[in-house]
Every structure is written in C-alpha cells, then in structure tokens.
Amino acid sequence: MTLIDNTIAFVKQELANAEGGHDWFHIERVWKLAQTISKEEQANSLIVELAALLHDIADSKFNNGDETIGPKKALDFLNTQDLSDSDKEHVIQIIENISFKGGKETSEIDTIEFKVCQDADRMDAIGAIGIARAFNYGGFKNRGLYDPSITPNLNMTKEEYKKSDAPTINHFYEKLLLLKDQMHTSTAKTMAEQRDAFMRNFLDQFYAEFSGTR
C-alpha cells in the first residue's frame, strides 16, 4: 500500500463513528477539492493530500476544545510512515492552522500548500454541503434552527466562538457567509462564488417560509 492508501485507511478507522458533518465523507470531499485546487496552483501534491486527509483527525469541537489532540494523532501516525521530518513538520503546521477559529486569528504558516488545504476545507463549509453540515451539527448539539430575537455576533473572540450555542441560522453570518472573501487561491475564489450565492438564495427562501409569506 502507498502512503496515501495507509493514510486513508487510518483516517477511516479513526472517524468510523464521527458526527455526520465531520466524518470520512467530509475528509474525502476536502481531499478531492484540495487535489483539484492543487493542480491549478502547482502545489506539492503529497503535502496537500496528507494534510487534507489528516486535518480533522480529532476536531477540537469533539475533544473539549483541545486543539493539540489532532496534530498529535496525525504526527504519531506520520512517524510510522516513510516521510521526511521536514514534510511531517509541514503537514502538522497546516493541520494546526487550518481551522476557522472565529476567523480573526492570523496563521503562522503561509505556504501554497496551506492555502490550498484551507481553501478546500472552507469550501466544504459553504454551498449545499455547507448548509447540510451546519444543520446536521446544529441538530447534533441540540441547537435551535432560528430565533429572530438572537442576533448574530460578528465580534466574538476565539473562545466565544468555540462556546457559542446560538441557533444554526446565526452560523451563516458568523462564519459561512464570510468564507467566500477569505479564500486564498484564484481557483477557490471562483468556485466559492456559486456556493455563496446558493446559500444566500437559501436564506431568502428560509426567511420567506419562516414568515409565512411563501
């Protein structure tokens, strides 16, 4: 088996019982998107594939907010594989910096491989898939769909963002609708336009139905 085959097998095993928006199929979508963007941006395909496959191996949302578990699990796995130390370090840096975290933190890494992986991960949070994932996670956390009396908070700190239990519709304004303008690569920027428009059309329909006018 190749390094990528070994990584896929490891990730599938680790995420066998994961929440539906952060399961193997999320990883697979991000992996495929990352490969598509990587070809256009001429990034190092091995680094991109490994980071995309391992980026959510232990999401902090499901580990009491601990952001160290995922990178450690990924490194423990990579240490069993034939990979240079510099490549391992690059992959782990991407994993450590890829998540949204409220959108206000600056990254400690600025490589094209990081940009490709972060764009691919953010792309899976918008569009039809993004809508489905948002409501799936909201249901998993027993959050309301929408409450007109609870307005979106666009100035949350990282900790406030992580602890928020606001209705799912708020999440569109606090994260999803911000992502189009946070894409790094020209490929992702183009792809994000259609997905962002789809979400905005969904919200228009949602509010019309909620108000009983359509």
b/e burial code for range 174-212 (CB count within 10 A of at least 16 → b) = bbbbbbbeebbbebbeebbeebbebbeeebeebeeeeee
110 class by beta-carbon count within 10 Å (0-12 exposed, 13-18 middle, 19+ buried): exposed
Structurally, how many domains does the chain consist of? 1
- pTM metric for this prediction: 0.90
Any idea which of 39-48, 126-135, 158-167 has the lowest mean pLDDT?
158-167
And the tokens for 140? Answer: 């998993």
- The distance in angstroms from the start CA to the end CA of the chain is 54
The Cα–Cα gap between 129 and 14 comes to 22
CATH number at residue 62: 1.10.3210.50
Q: What is the mean pLDDT of the chain?
A: 92
144-181 pLDDT, tens digit per residue, is 999 999 999 988 887 787 778 899 999 999 999 999 99
Token pair 């990584």: residue = 7
The per-residue pLDDT for 109 is 85
168 is in which domain, residue-wise? 3-211
**66-112 residue pLDDT tens:** 788 889 999 999 999 999 999 999 999 999 999 876 555 567 788 99
Instruction: For residues 70 and 78, give the distance between their C-alpha atoms in angstroms, rounded to a whole number.
Output: 12
